[in-house]
Amino acid sequence: MWQNSGVSPSIPIIFEKKEALSPARHFVEREVPSFAAYSLTNMTFRLFLLACLFAPMLSQAQTNSNENALRLKHFWLDKAPLAIQGYDPVSYYSGKALKGSNKFRTVYKGIEYHFANSKNLETFQKNPAGYEPTYGGWCAYAMGARGEKVEPDPENFKLANGKVYLFYKSFFSNTLDDWNKDEASLKKKADTNWTKILP
């Protein structure tokens, strides 16, 4: 029988034996993340990079889409999206308005243009903004005098400062004559009014 002598009996202590890790195993288990975690992290990083790359493109595409929609809404389109009743915008620079052909056509920012020949089409494609008629093709005089969108006669035009201006014409009236009487003032007003319509 055991008696208390002030000394605790010896209680065996069991130590868990841990397997020593080899240097290679220690590196794999302690230093390298699991394959699944690595793959997930890598995939997330790639998705982040793709988002960074495509975000500006998507934003620009949306901007272009909005701009095209406004142009389609405010340009003079006899049969949308065809502009200036199918007349060749480049032909004006030769001094005569020519009807374009469906064989030679292009679309610029949502607006379709037809051309009399392949040469004029190629010329337009090099500088489309430069060959578009001013004020979306509407009568320049009406845009300056009243800020209104009035359908012009596509064969009644004037070239000034490298741009084409179209004008309304009827049996009793030719707004090109009115424009020429006060061109500087009317042009300034027309520029301002058109900016209000299509910023």
Q: What pLDDT is recorded for position 30?
A: 52
Q: How far apart are CA 67 and CA 107, in angstroms?
A: 14
Alpha helices, H only, 99-150:
118-126, 128-131, 140-145
Q: How far apart are CA 156 and CA 179, in angstroms?
A: 12
67 phi and psi angles, rounded to 5 deg? -65, -45
Q: What pLDDT is recorded for position 77?
A: 96
Question: Sign of the CA dihedral 149, 150, 155, 159?
Answer: negative
Q: What pLDDT is recorded for position 5?
A: 47
Alpha helices, H only, 35-153:
35-74, 118-126, 128-131, 140-145
Q: Using a cut of 0.85, tell me whether the model's pTM lies above it.
A: no
Q: How far apart are CA 73 and CA 156, in angstroms?
A: 23
Q: State how far the alpha carbon of 21 is from the alpha carbons of 25, 35, 144, in Å.
A: 6, 20, 88
Q: How far apart are CA 116 and CA 188, in angstroms?
A: 32
Q: What pLDDT is recorded for position 63?
A: 62
Q: What pLDDT is recorded for position 42?
A: 72
Q: What pLDDT is recorded for position 2?
A: 45
* Strand order across the beta sheet in which 101-108 lies: 77-79, 82-83, 111-115, 101-108
pLDDT tens by residue, the chain, 199 residues: 444 445 445 555 554 555 555 555 554 445 445 555 556 577 776 776 666 665 555 445 556 899 999 999 999 998 889 999 999 999 999 999 999 999 999 999 999 999 999 999 999 999 999 999 999 999 999 999 999 999 999 999 999 999 999 999 999 999 999 999 999 999 999 999 999 999 8
